[in-house]
Chain A
Amino acid sequence: MSGLRDVWVYLSASPLLHLTMTLVAFQAASWIYEKANKNPLLNPVLLSVIAVVIMLVLSGTAYEDYFEGAQFVHFLLGPATVALAIPLYRQFDKVRASALAVLSSILAGSLTAILTALAIGSLLGASTDTLLSLAPKSVTAPVAMGISEQLGGLPSLTAVLVILTGITGAVLGPVVLNIIGVKDWAARGLAMGTASHGIATARALQVNEVAGAFAGLAMGLNALATAILLPLIWNWFF
């Protein structure tokens, strides 16, 4: 029995255990998602996050210890974001042909994301620091955290809300787009990337490369738009 405990102590101190846990959880989640005919409600990110959180809570593992192993996966987010230049380049003729429509739509989406979050949040009585953490939720995490900190929000709460917005968009986006009857891949990708940054871009890219290219572009431009617009809107209204 003590031998088993030694192995456990060794494993939980090395990155191997939590790195493997992350990959196995994601593989299992992807398998379930495929088996369920890619039902968007069974989004692999959502399922694997839930599974890993349950395992960590049950085993009494701190997030910091988990991240020791998972950071190797997390690190690749940066290079993967840079690599979004490739689908964008491949689809650039399509993007250029509709440049004005793309910019106007992202701007409209950016304003909608900021204003509806602030309006609904304040109507329902959210505190000021919560509102400020909620307002940049549609933007990729590092930018959202910077904006919220600058205005007096809570960067750590912002990071959580950004992730939850990403998962919400990846899960509900395709359902909503089907309901309103938007079939054009460019419009679908643009909407996913504007509302729900990288997590929805990943989802869009899995389905269609045109959608993925427009989503990646929307993610980048909405980060820029929100960083400029949100401080202006906040100082104007509050």
Chain B
Amino acid sequence: MLNALTLILVCQLAGELASGGLGLPVPGPVIGMVLLFIYLMVRGGISQNMSKTADGLLGHLSLLFVPAGVGVMLHFGLLEDNWAAVSVALLASTVLTIIVTALMMQWLSRKQAS
């Protein structure tokens, strides 16, 4: 458990260093995800410890967004100014993005399968 957590933190730290040091447009944790993925490919499998630790972290992934979400309370004023434009654009754009991505993926995988 501890060695898996250590490896995860090492990957994140290396990712943060790469992101900041090289000025990459991708955040440290996402680069860390790629590094851990490469490690797993090289190792050729996932240890039981890593499996348990990752599932523990990801099992409650939603909870981890609550503190940032509460930060919305700081910006009620900013939202008020353009709220109609912002809420319609945000809602419509999010729904359209979901529809386009899902239909495109479904269409391309069916085309590939046939």
Chain A contacts to B: CB under 8 angstroms: 22-23, 25-26, 44-45, 48-49, 52-53, 56-57, 63, 66-67, 70-71, 73-74, 76-90, 98, 100-102, 104-106, 108-109, 112-113, 116-117, 120-121, 124-127, 130, 134, 137-138, 140-143, 146-147, 154, 156-157, 159-161, 163-170, 172-173, 176-177, 180, 182, 184, 186-188, 190-192, 194-196, 198-199, 201-203, 205-206, 212, 216, 218-220, 223-224, 227-228
Contacts and interface: CB of A to CB of B under 8 A. Distances in A.
B2 interface: no
Interface in B25-54: 25-30, 32-37, 40-41, 46, 50-51, 53-54
A182 B34 CA distance: 28
Most B Cβ at <10 Å: residue of A23, A66, A101:
A101
B94 interface: yes
B68 A191 contact: no
Most A Cβ at <10 Å: residue of B62, B71, B91, B99:
B62
A202 B113 CA distance: 29
B90 A137 contact: yes
B46 A78 contact: no
Contact of A165 (B62, B75, B90, B105): B90
Contact of B11 (A48, A82, A172): A82
A126 B65 contact: no
Nearest to B99: A180
Interface of B: 5, 8-9, 11-12, 15, 25-30, 32-37, 40-41, 46, 50-51, 53-55, 57-58, 61-75, 78-79, 81-82, 84-86, 88-106, 108-109, 112
21 contacts: A53-B70, A77-B29, A77-B64, A85-B11, A85-B37, A86-B46, A101-B109, A102-B105, A105-B105, A113-B97, A120-B92, A126-B86, A134-B86, A147-B25, A160-B78, A164-B72, A168-B90, A176-B99, A180-B102, A184-B106, A199-B65
Contacts of A194: 97-98, 101
A100 B112 CA distance: 10
Contacts of A85: 11, 33-34, 36-37, 40, 54
Given A82-B32, A117-B93, A134-B90, A105 B104 contact: yes
Nearest to B5: A79
A178 to B, nearest CB: 11
A81 B30 contact: yes
B41 A140 contact: no
A87 to B, nearest CB: 7
Nearest to A141: B68
A57 to B, nearest CB: 7
Nearest to B30: A220
Contacts of B29: 77-79, 81-82
B20 to A, nearest CB: 11
